[in-house]
Amino acid sequence: MAILDVRDLRYYYRTRRGPVKAVDSVSFSIDAGKTLAVVGESGCGKTSTATAILRLLPRNVDTYEGQVLLDDHDIMAYSDEEFRKEVRWRRISIVFQGAMNALSPTIRCGLQLAEPLIVHQDVDKGEALAVAREGLRSVGLPEDVALRYPHELSGGMKQRVVIAMALVMKPKLVILDEPTSALDVMTQANIINLLKRLQREASLSYLFITHDLGLASELADDVAIMYAGRFIEVGPASRVYPSPRHPYTQRLIQSVPLLRSEVAPDFIPGAPPDLTKVPEGCPFHPRCPAAFNLCGWSVVDLQGFLEQRSRSTPGATHAGSTYEAKGAWKLVITPRKGMGPSAVVQELQALVARDAATTPVLTAVESIAERSGRAIVTLRTAERPGFTSDDSRRAACWLLTETGGSHAAA
Amino acid sequence: MLPLEAELPPVEALDESAEYPQVQLDHLRMWFQVGGGLFRNPVAVKAVDDVSLALWKGETVAIVGESGSGKTTLGRAALRLLEPTDGRLLYAGMDITHAWQRDLMWLRRTAGIIPQDPYSSVNPTFPIYRILEEPLAVHRIGTHAERTERIYRALESVKLIPPELFQMKFPHQLSGGQRQRVAVARAMILGPEFIVADEPVSMLDASVRISILKLLRQLQEASGITFLYITHDLATARHFSHRVGIMYAGKLTELGPVGAVLGEPLHPYTQALIEAIPDPDPENRGRERPALPGEPPLLTTPPPGCRFHPRCPIAKAGLCDVEEPPLRELRPGHLVACHLAS
């Protein structure tokens, strides 16, 4: 049973250079008591995914759409006030990156912990402080930390306070945004152990955001690899780690220096794209060692492809195509003399059916209509590789489709 | 693929004629005085306390430790950017422990540093050309044409190609990895023999990290530079250095060839450190990682005896909390500071 189900989430920032597509059609779900780790390089949109779910939006939002279902309720439909009261912190909380600096230096830790209770639940101060002390105990801190100021604590202790703060309203889902990135390895191991224990005890769900594949494997039931604002591979950790499907995931895993292995790490040539200028087609294709012509196809290329296809339809004399939106194309076909539009449509349908089997670009014929002697065909195409499913695992790469595979072999 | 260690030339075979190590730290102490006032004595922060280490020409020695273990101070002291409190610092056999800075211009030409943060270590108002020209200007090297030639060659050597294009860019126009390449080029431009790389890749993405470390190794193979690689990351130390030294609370606790220290760690701290680091492995999900409780001690008041004993799982009362363990050579080239290691 999914506690969080995100469907086609888009979250773009507006800048002078055009929209920054930080989160671009991201879909995933997290089951109760499970962890999804989102792994990617810096600037790939990991943190934006988190802030989009929690609706912590800056002013320069360009696009913010999609569905976020929390326990089957679409929380995107909530008003900001409802969201603040019902969702944020109460049902989803977050441990921020660099959380050592997330505490106010002038307020005692206990009161900082109790604050959400006082604000959200109208609990009186004494009671809230008691809950706060309880929270400190649950993260392995002595109760007297409640009376101390953040500067009196070490980095690891501050991190524990921040975790206690995220759990004080007893949410079922906690977003962990690089929760240990500024800590030493020993402290990191202690914090990860703590997170494991808390998850076990309260059957919490985690959305764990990290750049460290090793660390991700500590908590992840499922792992999602993010690149240029998109999820390019999602699946159970037990399958993605040993046999990654997407070429980017494969290279990313190879770039991790292993402590317990002689295998030398190797880097991925090139750099991730600027999110205002994400390459057409598969965003990884300019760096991909296995890329072939289809990987870099743009909308314009697809248009050419479609026109060529509809021209080659027997019986058609005139063909034009227009791009509607989201991969939908409209083809207008005038039949040759002596031939009815329905005959052309039949021909085209057969052709598309054949193409769809051999060309992953064409996915489906949406509708075919006859209008004033012409055939108007709406086709659905993929602008970029869609997810191909392999059991529970999905990877967005042309090579993993049947045709793509033969391209790679050829 | 061959293991990386095998690709690197063995240290012993590098230069038989070299009598002295490139850089030698001899019982080096680097203490800082902090605080103090009318009624209060200043306290000493013992950032580096009695560390001995020799770096031979053409080798990379990694110094691994947690934050506050004194590893950065060690690096700065090794470059004589700090004047040691006690002990000796020798450069190619020459004692420079207390040499005057103005007598050390030759050292500034032959020893360089690659700093940690590529975002703050280069002047944002200078184009790359000027960033790289500055060391040449300070040391009054070359004519304008010669400098340009040198800068272009340096940019090419760090793979910022074409150099004509990169030399006129400003740091903000470059990515983090490219900036760090500029920092490497700046460290290399005077043709140094010794470079301290202080966490050179900790701010970068995994893939960029590997590309920078591979670049450093290529430069080492091409010109026999000695590297002191300061890092908190044991995994990169394993793949990009010959020897590794582990620091804890200002002390060198273990030193030896990378394979030996990581394959058969002798010090309980090294063992715990290795245990705490996860390699990517879905099996990690189901188990708790053994991790030491507690925190490293304050460097103003380190515990008596072995500094690690309050956290040590095998500490022996009456020995470890009383007597400071010396660094002993238990295996050939493999030293450890622990009473109980054998």
Question: pLDDT tens string for chain B (342 positions)?
Answer: 333 444 444 444 445 555 789 999 999 999 998 877 778 888 889 999 999 999 999 999 999 999 889 999 999 999 999 999 999 999 998 999 999 988 899 999 999 999 888 778 888 899 999 999 999 999 999 999 999 999 999 999 998 988 999 999 999 998 888 999 999 999 999 999 999 999 999 888 888 899 999 999 999 999 999 999 999 999 999 999 999 999 999 999 999 999 999 999 999 999 999 999 999 999 999 888 888 888 889 888 899 999 999 999 999 999 999 999 999 999 999 999 999 998
pLDDT band at A145 (very low <50, low <70, confident <90, very high): very high
What's the mean pLDDT in A240-263?
A: 92
Q: Give the Cα-Cα-Cα angle B295, B296, B300 (nearest 5 degrees).
A: 125
Per-residue pLDDT, A401: 60
Q: Which chain A residues are Cβ-neighbours of B292 within 8 angstroms?
A: 186
Cβ separation B206–A187 shorter than 8 A: no
The CA distance from A66 to the nearest CA of chain B, in Å, is 30
pLDDT band at A1 (very low <50, low <70, confident <90, very high): confident
By C-alpha distance, the chain B residue nearest A268 is B207
Per-residue pLDDT, B291: 86
Cβ separation B210–A258 shorter than 8 A: no
Reply yes or no on domain A299-379 having CATH 3.40.50: no
Cβ separation B285–A218 shorter than 8 A: yes
Cβ separation B3–A264 shorter than 8 A: yes
Mean pLDDT, chain A, whole residue set: 83
Cβ separation A189–B238 shorter than 8 A: no
Per-residue pLDDT, B205: 86
Mean pLDDT is lowest, of A184-188, A334-338, B73-77, for: A334-338
- The better pLDDT of the pair A299, B106 is held by B106
Cβ separation A186–B285 shorter than 8 A: no
| Tokens encoding A161 | 């306070």
The CA distance from B6 to the nearest CA of chain A, in Å, is 10
Q: Are strands B94-95 and B86-91 parallel, antiparallel or unpaired?
A: antiparallel
Residue A328 reports pLDDT greater than 80: no
Which residue from A154, A189, A268 is facing B276, i.e. has the nearest CB? A189
By C-alpha distance, the chain A residue nearest B280 is A214
Structure pTM?
Answer: 0.85
A 49-68 residues with CB < 8 A to B: none
| Tokens encoding A410 | 């050829």
Question: Edge-to-edge, what's the strand order for the sheet holding B251-257?
Answer: B111-114, B194-198, B226-231, B60-64, B243-248, B251-257, B334-336, B328-331
Assess A266–B contact: CB distance below 8 Å, yes or no. Answer: yes
Q: What percent of chain A has pLDDT over 90?
A: 51
Per-residue pLDDT, A351: 62
Q: What is the CA radius of gyration of chain A?
A: 26
Assess A263–B contact: CB distance below 8 Å, yes or no. Answer: yes
φ/ψ of A270, rounded to 5, equals 80, -175
Instruction: Provide the b/e sequence for A341-361 (b: ≥16 CB within 10 Å).
Output: beebbebbeebbeebbeebbb
φ/ψ of A171, rounded to 5, equals -75, 160
Residue A187 reports pLDDT greater than 80: yes
Cβ separation A266–B210 shorter than 8 A: yes
Residue A178 reports pLDDT greater than 80: yes
| Tokens encoding B29 | 């102490």
pLDDT band at A358 (very low <50, low <70, confident <90, very high): low
Q: Where are the beta strands (DSSP E) in B82-234?
A: 86-91, 94-95, 111-114, 194-198, 226-231
| Tokens encoding B137 | 């200007």
Q: Give the Cα-Cα-Cα angle A294, A300, A304 (nearest 5 degrees).
A: 80
Per-residue pLDDT, A409: 40
- Distance from the first to the final alpha carbon of chain A: 43
Residues 6+ apart with CB under 8 A from B190: B109, B110, B112, B135, B136, B139, B141
Residues 6+ apart with CB under 8 A from B144: none
Assess A209–B contact: CB distance below 8 Å, yes or no. Answer: no
| Rounded-to-integer distance, Cα B182 and Cα A172, Å | 47
Assess A187–B contact: CB distance below 8 Å, yes or no. Answer: yes
Assess A410–B contact: CB distance below 8 Å, yes or no. Answer: no
| Rounded-to-integer distance, Cα B195 and Cα B179, Å | 18
Q: Give the Cα-Cα-Cα angle B185, B200, B58 (nearest 5 degrees).
A: 70
What's the mean pLDDT in A15-32?
A: 92
| Rounded-to-integer distance, Cα B20 and Cα B91, Å | 8
CATH class of segment(s) A2-254: alpha beta
Q: How many CB atoms lie within 10 A of CB B133?
A: 22
Mean pLDDT is lowest, of A32-36, A296-300, B131-135, B293-297, for: A296-300
Per-residue pLDDT, B13: 46
By C-alpha distance, the chain A residue nearest B288 is A193
Per-residue pLDDT, B4: 40
| Rounded-to-integer distance, Cα B238 and Cα B240, Å | 6
Cβ separation A216–B175 shorter than 8 A: no
Residues 6+ apart with CB under 8 A from A152: none
Cβ separation A214–B277 shorter than 8 A: yes
Cβ separation B206–A256 shorter than 8 A: yes
The CA distance from B94 to the nearest CA of chain A, in Å, is 37
Q: Which residue has 């309050």 as its token pair? A: B310
Residues 6+ apart with CB under 8 A from A342: A370, A375
A 128-157 residues with CB < 8 A to B: 154, 156
Which residue from A154, A219, A262 is facing B3, i.e. has the nearest CB? A262
Residue A403 reports pLDDT greater than 50: no
Class of residue B226 by CB neighbours under 10 A (exposed 0-12, middle 13-18, buried 19+): buried
Q: How many CB atoms lie within 10 A of CB B294?
A: 12
pLDDT band at A55 (very low <50, low <70, confident <90, very high): very high
Per-residue pLDDT, B2: 34
Cβ separation A217–B284 shorter than 8 A: yes
pLDDT band at A407 (very low <50, low <70, confident <90, very high): very low
| Residue B149: its H or E element | helix B144-157
pLDDT band at A408 (very low <50, low <70, confident <90, very high): very low
By C-alpha distance, the chain B residue nearest A256 is B206
- The better pLDDT of the pair A371, A282 is held by A282
Per-residue pLDDT, B6: 41
Cα A295 from chain centroid (whole Å): 20
Residue A32 reports pLDDT greater than 90: yes
What region does A25 belong to: left with phi over 0, alpha with psi -120 to 50, or beta? left
Per-residue pLDDT, A360: 53
- Going from N- to C-terminal start, the domains of chain A cover 2-254, 299-379
Residue A311 reports pLDDT greater than 60: yes
